[in-house]
Chain A
Amino acid sequence: EAQVTQNPRYLITVTGKKLTVTCSQNMNHEYMSWYRQDPGLGLRQIYYSMNVEVTDKGDVPEGYKVSRKEKRNFPLILESPSPNQTSLYFCASSLSTSGSYEQYFGPGTRLTVT
């Protein structure tokens, strides 16, 4: 089944404790992206990647890191989480880097930072 998977689905952590949210897609998609969703703000893009070893900042990259060492994986790293990073996070992928195709979304990771 074609899908984007994220782990963990739920995470409660404390300020400053490094964490990684994994994302994997099995569709051989070129493009992958991370978004955060906050009430009343829709989805905002954190980082995106157009290919292996090619990543770029979205609209809200501060406090986040990503890597794309393999085509299928695009982990999101929070080196020192803070309470303002409490949010619902989505990973997405798309067939091409042209923007002409839809994005497929993972099920989301609900992160709480206390």
Chain B
Amino acid sequence: SQQGEEDPQALSIQEGENATMNCSYKTSINNLQWYRQNSGRGLVHLILIRSNEREKHSGRLRVTLDTSKKSSSLLITASRAADTASYFCATVLGFNTGGFKTIFGAGTRLFVKA
């Protein structure tokens, strides 16, 4: 399996319900980021959680990071039809010589039914 693997691949819920997406990775990271992509469009950054953080909130978003299990979850509360999109986790690995590498997972497709 690849770094930054999301689960589930697809998720369909009713408006108002919560949506949870999970991400697993293999190597030590500097930080982990979640992005959103509306069909065929550019990715939009949602939230960044650093390796020494365990939980972060932004509006209706809650992200957790468990570095011992090498996993993260994204929770969207009280979902809306406008939340329908693909969600990607991206793990950021720093290099000792400077620079960094970002590895994206294949994404979770979320469909919120009105």
A90 proximity list for chain B (CB < 8 A)? 42-43
* Interface presence of B25 (CB below 8 A): no
- Interface residue count for B (Cβ, 8 Å)? 27
CB atoms of A97 and B98 under 8 A apart: yes
CB atoms of B92 and A43 under 8 A apart: no
* Interface presence of B14 (CB below 8 A): no
CB atoms of A107 and B45 under 8 A apart: no
Nearest 5 CB-CB pairings of A with B: A99-B100, A102-B45, A105-B42, A43-B104, A42-B106
8 CB-based A-B contacts, threshold 8 Å: A45-B101, A56-B99, A90-B43, A92-B43, A97-B100, A99-B100, A107-B42, A108-B40
What is the count of residue pairs linking A and B with beta-carbon distances less than 8 angstroms? 65
CB atoms of B40 and A98 under 8 A apart: no
Known: A42-B106, A110-B40. 6 other contacts (CB 8 A): A42-B4, A43-B88, A56-B99, A98-B94, A99-B31, A105-B35
Chain B at the A interface: mostly helix, strand, loop or mixed?
A: strand
Interface residues of A (CB under 8 A from B): 4, 33, 35, 40-45, 48, 50, 56, 58, 88, 90, 92, 97-108, 110
Chain B residue nearest to A38 in the complex (CB): B106
Complex: A108 Cα to B98 Cα, angstroms:
28
